[in-house]
Structure 1
Amino acid sequence: MDGSASHEGESGGIDRVRGKGRGGNFLAIDRAAWERLWEVETGNRLNLVTAYIVLLAGTGSDHQLSKWSAKACEQHTGMGKPRAKVAIDDLIEHGFVAHTDRSTKLYPQYRLQPIPLDSDPIFLPVALVTGIETEASMLRRVRETGDALLLRMLVDLYGLVQLDATFGVPISSLSQTPPEAYPARKVFEIGIHSVWALRLVGGSKSAGDDWAGYHRSKSRRKDGAWEDFWARVAMLEKIGAIWYEAWIFDSEESDAEPLFPVDPAALYHQGEGDDVYHLTRTMLDAAANLSEERSNLLERYGIDMLVTLAQHRRAPAIRGVARMRIEADTPGRRLSYYKRRTQIEIYEAGYTQIALDALRGEFSRPMNTATPQ
């Protein structure tokens, strides 16, 4: 289980509330409870689920005790107190939360059901509820659409995030795909190197796996299931909940390994940028140095990523990885960013060496992509 959640309470541990101890910047939702939220009877599903997430955001490191109530629902999501009280009463009736012994009408306090120690919860950032600086919270924006299934889709996407270097949604579930007319093309070979042209511009998006099947099944129109599905994905993009980051993968398979991220902006200008920008520029320069037509190569393949790999490797692929705009700062996220930084450093050093070797007419040294031990 990712995260630092403890599960004290009935067993005699110390009750903790948000703001005391090492409370998190993230909240955890038990997947079984998440599914049940969508099955119990309620007059307003969107308010019910929204209130539950707000109460969870008010917990401390045990993810159980919360002093947030109807007032917090109003403050962070725009749900009026009367509607929030109805939603919380529904949560109590169905056993999701209960008043603690310390709870009063003026100062309510709730205990949420503990998360089983062997479970795999969904982690959400508290900022999803509270917002960032002066921005309206993402939870408020979703509620303003009036679409409960949009909230379901958003949280489900958080539940799909994998702890590899992408810290994104699996490409088999949701991703940007290259244009069918421009698959990976081998530009040339020299020495031990192959240079591939990969294009993401002009592509589309693909989705699959169980989560896409679930959301398509909720459409009221059998002939418009995919239309409704993509409309919700587009809405999440419009409100800024998800975005796509270009990554080079070691193949076009749905379970391909991510190699490193690239920055499309590096194709159009040279200048200042972050580590991904510098890696991309270094990769392009390495390909140009390997080419006998150095001055024309980048111009001829202006909107393609020119990726150099050893000749024994299969054709790579480029995909846009779906990423969450606001991320849950869990230990798993920190580990993923360490992997990401390491892979960027490895490939930038490798492409720098290839470029320098090419200037000396040396084309027999392969890039070392092994992770340092």
Structure 2
Amino acid sequence: MVDAENQTGAHQRGKGTGGLFFAVDRQLWPQLWTLETANRLNFVTAFLVLLAGTGSDHQLTKWSAKACEEHVGMGKPRSMRAIEELVQHGIIARTENSTRMRPQYRFHPLDRDADPIFLPVQLVTGLKQETPVLRRVRETGDALLLRMLIDLYGLVETDATYGVPITALRLNPPAHHPARKLFEAGANTVWAMELGSQQSAQGEWATVHRVNEAKPEDAWAPFWERIALLTKMGALWFEPWIFDGDALDAEPLMPVDPSFHYAVRETDRIAGLTRLAHEASAELAGERTYFLDRAEGDILLPLPGHHRAPEIRGVARLRVEPDTPGHRIAYARRMRLIEGYSEAFDVLRNDAANGRLDRPLRIMSPDTYDL
């Protein structure tokens, strides 16, 4: 393994099998929050930094106090103390080649079949010239903020959204403005919807961030404060997606961009997709422009006439994502969805422009597209 702090070879740590990511044992993760330590935030941060320095085996690392100081701003005395605690608790062990000047540590072998939590190395090292997210979290002094961040990574689903399940965390549509049927045109119906700002969460993962207050309405306050802080520091964001219904187990149809009217980049495929849906809806409306006037600022979506009411929700996503095989598969599926819907809206728009309204929107399965 190449020394990650002095990489000079052509092969750099993290560039091999699996890409720039490291893996946390899902069973070990909650244990780190129960072990005795002088400083929980330093203890867990040091664990993540050293683990980020492992190679594709997720086991051997030469990252030590120097890496903690360089990447997350933890001074060597605090770093060395936290690392020593990791050794004492048996989380890591010094290898036979480890020396005081050139330490080397070994983690327990990772069981890849046990569904580990995959994290991007850039969480520790940063993106380009940006301050690493892990350093920003440590600067808050809130250990539970770090736990929330890694818990969120552990929840990510490898479907086309590559986000946190909406059952666990989501951005809801406004209660006063659910998806509404705007009009019917032949074999299709056009729906209008708007993304709201109210967030919802549920599940066991969130309970650790709640407090036992005399007033139940205050119990969630620390949770939402941490969500807001992760969003403010750029670690978390909500991507608008249209789902095929209002149930929490509804299927994701496609991502949308509510600001598509103002998108300036020709390569913004999501804005382009949203614009195509709007243009197809406008063609279906024809001379009935008053329908469009009633939905100014809304996202318009044509669907086959038999389709139930869709719903728009914000999917919680982590800004820095691990370059895992699962991530690549999810990204490819996402691109196939965008390609499929773009083609379908284009066909529908042309049909409507030629006066043909008898053909319903037809979406090919995302897996039939080769990108």
C-alpha distance in 2 between matches for 1:271 and 1:48 = 44
Question: Is residue 22–residue 60 contact of structure 1 (8 Å, CA) maintained in 2?
Answer: no
Cα offset for 1:366? Answer: 1.8
- Aligned residue for 1:163? 158
C-alpha distance in 1 between matches for 2:30 and 2:93 = 19
**Range that drifts further, 233-242 or 303-312:** 303-312
The question of 1:335 aligning with 2:329 is answered yes
- Aligned residue for 2:3? none
C-alpha distance in 1 between matches for 2:258 and 2:18 = 38
Select 1:308's aligned residue among 290, 299, 302: 302
Q: Give the residue type in structure 2 aligned to 1:199.
A: E
- Aligned residue for 2:276? 282
Question: Is residue 23–residue 60 contact of structure 1 (8 Å, CA) maintained in 2?
Answer: no
TM-score by length of 1: 0.91
The question of 1:345 aligning with 2:310 is answered no
C-alpha distance in 2 between matches for 1:117 and 1:155 = 18
Matches within 5 A, 1:1-373: 18=13, 22=17, 24-200=19-195, 202-216=196-210, 219=211, 221=213, 223=215, 224-268=218-262, 272-293=266-287, 295-371=289-365, 372-373=367-368
Question: Is residue 14–residue 20 contact of structure 2 (8 Å, CA) maintained in 1?
Answer: no
Question: Is residue 47–residue 84 contact of structure 1 (8 Å, CA) maintained in 2?
Answer: yes
1:20–1:320 CA distance, 2 compared to 1 (3 A): closer
SS at match of 1:315: coil
C-alpha distance in 2 between matches for 1:303 and 1:349 = 24
Cα offset for 1:21? Answer: 5.3
Cα offset for 1:18? Answer: 3.4
SS at match of 1:189: strand
Question: Is residue 32–residue 44 contact of structure 2 (8 Å, CA) maintained in 1?
Answer: yes
Question: Is residue 252–residue 316 contact of structure 1 (8 Å, CA) maintained in 2?
Answer: yes
1:272–1:298 CA distance, 2 compared to 1 (3 A): farther
SS at match of 1:215: coil
Question: Is residue 22–residue 121 contact of structure 2 (8 Å, CA) maintained in 1?
Answer: yes
TM-score by length of 2: 0.92
CA offset digits 1:204-231 (Å, max 9, x no partner):
1111122122322xx3645322111100
CA offset digits 1:191-247 (Å, max 9, x no partner):
1101111111x431111122122322xx36453221111000000011100111111
List gaps (5 residues or longer) in structure 2: 1-10
List gaps (5 residues or longer) in structure 1: 1-15
Q: Give the residue type in structure 2 aligned to 1:252.
A: D
CA offset digits 1:79-130 (Å, max 9, x no partner):
1100001100110111110000000011000001111242000011000000
C-alpha distance in 1 between matches for 2:265 and 2:147 = 41
1:50–1:222 CA distance, 2 compared to 1 (3 A): farther
- Aligned residue for 2:4? none
Cα offset for 1:169? Answer: 0.7
C-alpha distance in 2 between matches for 1:271 and 1:165 = 23
1:137–1:220 CA distance, 2 compared to 1 (3 A): farther
**Range that drifts further, 356-365 or 60-69:** 356-365
SS at match of 1:246: strand
C-alpha distance in 2 between matches for 1:152 and 1:203 = 24
Give me the identity figure in percent: 55
C-alpha distance in 2 between matches for 1:213 and 1:173 = 11
1:18–1:266 CA distance, 2 compared to 1 (3 A): closer
C-alpha distance in 2 between matches for 1:118 and 1:235 = 33
C-alpha distance in 2 between matches for 1:222 and 1:273 = 52
RMSD: 1.8
Cα offset for 1:134? Answer: 1.5
Question: Is residue 14–residue 56 contact of structure 2 (8 Å, CA) maintained in 1?
Answer: no
Q: Give the residue type in structure 2 aligned to 1:211.
A: W
CA offset digits 1:277-325 (Å, max 9, x no partner):
1111100001111014454444431221111111111110000111111
Cα offset for 1:135? Answer: 1.2
> Number of residues paired by the alignment?
355
C-alpha distance in 2 between matches for 1:244 and 1:334 = 20
